[in-house]
Amino acid sequence: MTEPKSYKWFLDHLSPFEGHMHGIDTIVFSKQTQFQQVEILDTKSYGRCLVLDGKMQSSEVDEFIYHEALVHPAMLTHPHPEKVFIVGGGEGATLREILRHKTVTRVLMVDIDQEVVESCKTHLPQMHQGAFDDSRAEVRYLDARKYLEETNETYDIIIIDISEPVEEGPAYLLYTREFYQLVMERLGRDGIISLQAGTTSASNLLNFSAIYQTLKAVFPVVSPYQASVPSFGLPWGFALASKHVDPRTLDTQEIDQRIARRIQGELRFYDGETHLGQFNLPKQIRLQMQKQERIIEDNYPLFTYH
């Protein structure tokens, strides 16, 4: 009997007591940038993956689930999205999905870490698929919060695609009430923000629930939802927030019609039936969200496990 091949292992820590192990074929790229540790790994189960500060960000095999879930509910809920702003989005897959919308005329992506974006351009072409070369797209390497504070420009959609708020990481001030107030000021009349909100695991709902309550402190309409992204190891939460439009008012048929009308190419994860299901959160999540009173603020941030 042949001995199984011995692989190097990457352990994605989901909490101090839980993790998801990935067998590694090759470490393609590894560097400590000014802001974070970036690694691009070839894994046996999920293909090529982006890892930031030891946390799985996206994998070749299932990144379409995460990025379609993050982008399309907001884009299709808006009546006619033209101008889009991305906070983060290093690997270019969020940009890729936005550019599939025929109504879009301009996308500005602001990522603080140029080295992450450049490494993704080189080593993750299967994720960005040339999106950085689209004439509608512009990338700037700046602090997104500072940029939004200094501009008067407004956007139809703002998508926040950043890593989790670890204490020494670059993202924790992009999860606070003050930041969400700034975002709301930069949205147009029908504007919507979309963001990833951490795991919806029964063992670790604090981050998801606190983000929900923080958004509710700012926006009239907050619509939390979830999707299963297998490479993350746990179910994952998202949220839309807006001044008045609500994705939960759209039925299966309307979503499918908007997809057919607005989007180029075939979606692999998201459609009308998926839309309907993902906003119907299980009872234990709804109860925890209602009980949670934590509001995340600049001087009272919430850090997730490294």
Asked, for residue 3, whether it belongs to a domain, the answer is no
Instruction: Please state the rounded mean pLDDT for residues 233-247.
Output: 96
Same domain membership, residue 143 and residue 49: no
Task: Answer yes or no: 111 catalytic.
Answer: no
pLDDT at 168 over 70: no
For 129-154, the pLDDT digits (tens) are: 999 999 999 999 999 999 999 999 99
Same domain membership, residue 102 and residue 30: no
Strand blocks (E) in the chain? 8-15, 18-32, 37-43, 47-52, 55-59, 83-88, 106-110, 137-140, 155-161, 187-199, 221-228, 235-242
Same domain membership, residue 105 and residue 196: yes
Same domain membership, residue 180 and residue 107: yes
DSSP per-residue letters across 50-62: EEETTEEEEETTT
pLDDT at 166 over 70: no
Asked, for residue 301, whether it belongs to a domain, the answer is no
How large is the greatest C-alpha to C-alpha distance in the chain, in angstroms? 68
Which of 53, 111, 113, 161 is labelled catalytic?
A: 161
Same domain membership, residue 169 and residue 92: yes
Q: Which residues contact 111 (CB under 8 A, 6 or more apart)?
A: 86, 88, 89, 90, 117, 139, 140, 141, 144
Say what the pTM is: 0.95
pLDDT at residue 170, rounded to an integer: 63
Same domain membership, residue 150 and residue 85: yes
Q: Residue 96, SS3? A: helix
CATH number at residue 209: 3.40.50.150
For 247-288, the pLDDT digits (tens) are: 999 999 999 999 999 999 999 999 999 999 999 999 999 999
Cα gap 208→198, rounded to integer Å: 5
For 117-132, the pLDDT digits (tens) are: 999 999 999 999 999 9
Asked, for residue 140, whether it belongs to a domain, the answer is yes
Domain extent at residue 33: 8-59
